A and B are shown apart, each in its own frame.
Chain A
Amino acid sequence: MNATQAIAKFRTCKTTGLRVFRNAEFFTKVNAVLAVVFLLVGAIAAIGLALTRWTAVHLLGSVYYYRMLTLHGVNMLVFWIIFMEMGILYFACTTLLNSRLFSKMLGWISLALMGIGALMTNYIILAGQADVLLTSYVPLKAHPMFYLGIILFAVGALIVCFNFFATLYIAKRDETYEGSMPLVTFGAMAAAIIAVLALAHGAAALIPTFMWSMGWIGPVDPGLYRLLWWGLGHMSQQINVCAMVSVWYFMGTMTTGAKPLNETVCRGAFLLYILFINLASAHHLLVDPGVGPGWKIWNTSYAMYLAVLASMIHGYTVPASLEVAQRRKGFTKGIFGWFSKLPWKDPGFSAVMLSIIIFGFMGGITGVTLGTEQINIIAHNTLRIPGHFHATVVGGTSLAFMGLAYYLVPLIFQKEFYLKGLARIQPYVFGGGIVVMSLGMSFAGSYGVPRRHWDVDFSGSILSAGFDPIAHVMLGLVGIGGIIAFLGLLLFIGLTVATVFFGRSNEGRPMESWQDEHSTRMKDELIEKGYEEEGKDYEHIKTPGTLTVVIIFLLTFAVYYFANWKALADLWFVR
């Protein structure tokens, strides 16, 4: 490092040639580290849950089961994911736009709020004063510190979004980049827009609830609370979708040199997310009283499924861009020759590819189907729901973020991984475990096995109830898949923490490639050409492999969708 660079506000990345701005880099690092810390807390709770739902083991007592469920939901769905997303926002608005961060001060304030909020909430849950689960449905009441912690965290995250938009503004004003912002930044912007709305709903739901828990105001209407809370709860899943898709595009470029086929299509799909995806919060209220069928049908369909269209578009454009990149490298044999030559041993790549497959084939198909107004009658609050979202937010988003980490650590922390062999298998272990667990949950749920339930033998109840033995076998799969996923998760946490704190520094050098020399050279060539050929497209390169896969996807989707209508039609009549 030379003297001028030492006092400069940025360093130039030796791998990508991009400028990494010191302030933003610092906040990316801190947010990523905090994300992993809370991931560990969530993981410890997770193994307790998986081993409790496995009826043959039934590990935890009822009090601890619900406490760990609260702890798991809050740490995973709120702290791990959102801290990681804040790290991504800092990166996407500075390095990719060649701009400094708008305000370091705001960065500190938001960090303090988020950190204190997360600590408060965790403390009060562990102290046993907030066994109300993630959703804290009123009139269930927690200690006020529970709500206050989440409110502080949300306000902090909102300030990060403000910092992000302000940075986009100054970058454009100061013309730090030419043309339009890069696709990854555009996707991050979609995530930030959704975040603003989600956090506003969170404030609207939780601030009155906090005041009620303090005894300052009367009770909060439970229907209204659900409406507003799911504005937070589901919209934050849409932040995850946007962030995940941006990571798909980012990692596609970094690991194979892929380039989006058509910017208009990709950005148009993000636009559909911005406009319509948030209506889908309604799918949590499909069997609720108080809201009518018109509201339910229109909103749960994301305005005629236009946001589903967007996901189906990304589900095509990402693999198609990989296929084109591979074919440009000369892997043109047959329909799938390019596919087998993908860098499967690069954990950054394999995590992202598994994320695409799990999110699409499992998470997406089940999500749209279960979120259909009438089909929700056979899904609401059963284990089918966690079966669905462990395929979206865990097998999809979390796995994609893990893939990102395999590049983030060498590029931003400038540390090289130890035990690369273990890192190469980690995405497969974690992804495989989640697939098994998610299938177990989904099948158990189709027998009516409830989620958030300590004892499906209903011991102690006056009127007996119970489930088919097959449902218990499926719960066994939840346990086994859960153990595998847990090991995969520990592997990830262990490797990244060890590397960040004790890894070999690569300062002043490009990162060591996860791929062999030949494929590294080929992808680097494509990335370089990308600069020159920007704006050109590769319409002459066909994508028969991707087309085959997406058609199989569509057929699977249709079969699953109509099979559920068939199952619904066998029920009692109800209006």
Chain B
Amino acid sequence: MEEERKPPLGQRILDNMWLLLALGLAVPTISYTLWGIIELISMGDATLP
């Protein structure tokens, strides 16, 4: 039957809580936290002319 087939990919993604959990943790950690830490540690020393 038509309805018995697997739902479309988008629906399966939205139904997959582990995938959402993984993405939800990874994206901000990389973009905000890790990138932010890299910015902080790559700061140079003041020369104070």
Contact = CB atoms under 8 A, between A and B. Distances in A.
A and B touch in the complex (CB under 8 A): yes
Nearest to B7: A180
B24 A299 contact: no
A281 B32 contact: yes
B39 interface: yes
B36 A282 contact: yes
A115 B35 CA distance: 35
A223 B40 contact: yes
Interface size for chain B: under 10, 10 to 19, 20 to 34, or 35 or more residues?
20 to 34
Main SS of chain B's interface residues? helix
A505 B43 CA distance: 64
Interface string B3-35: 000000011011101001101110111011101
Contacts of A461: none
A224 B37 contact: yes
Interface stretch (A116-124, A263-271, A466-474): A263-271
A406 to B, nearest CB: 30
Contacts of B20: 189-190, 193, 271, 274
Interface string A246-268: 00000000000000000010011
B14 A278 contact: no
Interface stretch (A290-298, A379-387, A519-527, A552-560): A290-298
B35 A295 contact: yes
Contact of A290 (B28, B31, B39): B39
A168 B17 CA distance: 9
A227 B36 contact: yes
A194 B24 contact: yes
Nearest to A298: B31
Interface string A468-512: 000000000000000000000000000000000000000000000
A212 interface: no
B15 A197 contact: no
A282 B37 CA distance: 12
Contact of A264 (B10, B23, B29, B33): B10
A180 B15 contact: yes
A165 interface: yes
Main SS of chain A's interface residues? helix
A227 B29 CA distance: 11
Given A165-B21, A274-B20, A292-B39, A279 B14 contact: no
Contact of A276 (B27, B37, B43): B27
Given A267-B14, A295-B39, A278 B21 contact: no
Contact of B32 (A194, A267, A282): A282
Contacts of B36: 227, 282, 285, 291, 295, 299
A268 B10 CA distance: 9
Given A268-B14, A290-B39, A290-B40, A201 B33 contact: yes
A107 B33 CA distance: 30
A196 interface: yes
A228 interface: yes
A303 to B, nearest CB: 7
A267 B8 CA distance: 14
Nearest to B33: A231
Given A224-B37, A290-B39, A275 B24 contact: yes
Contacts of B35: 295, 299
A473 to B, nearest CB: 39
Nearest to A201: B33
Interface string A432-474: 0000000000000000000000000000000000000000000
A92 to B, nearest CB: 13
Closest 3 A/B residue pairs (Cβ): A278-B28, A193-B24, A274-B24
Interface of B: 10-11, 13-15, 17, 20-21, 23-25, 27-29, 31-33, 35-37, 39-40, 43
Given A168-B17, A193-B25, A271-B20, 20 more contacts: A165-B17, A180-B14, A189-B17, A197-B24, A197-B28, A197-B29, A201-B33, A224-B37, A264-B10, A264-B11, A275-B24, A278-B24, A278-B28, A279-B31, A282-B32, A290-B39, A292-B39, A295-B36, A299-B35, A299-B36
28 contacts: A165-B17, A165-B21, A181-B15, A186-B14, A194-B24, A197-B28, A227-B37, A227-B40, A264-B11, A264-B14, A268-B10, A271-B13, A276-B28, A278-B28, A279-B32, A281-B28, A281-B32, A282-B32, A290-B40, A290-B43, A291-B36, A291-B39, A292-B39, A295-B35, A295-B36, A295-B39, A299-B31, A299-B36
